[in-house]
Amino acid sequence: MKRSVALAAWGEEGLLLVKRPEEDPEFPGVYGLPAVSQEEGESLEEAARRVAREKLSTEVRLRYPVAFGREERPGHTLELWVYEADLLFPQACPSPGRARPTTPPSASAAPRTSRRRPGRAPCAAASTWR
Grade residue 13 by pLDDT with cuts at 50, 70 and 90. confident
CATH number at residue 38: 3.90.79.10
Summarize pLDDT for 43-90 with one digit per residue, the tens: 999 999 999 999 988 899 999 999 999 999 889 999 999 999 998 876
- Contact indicator for 43, 9 with CB cutoff of 8 Å: no
56 Rama sector, left if φ>0, alpha if ψ -120 to 50, beta otherwise: alpha
* Structural domain boundaries enclosing 91: 2-103+110-128
Quote the number of domains for the chain: 1
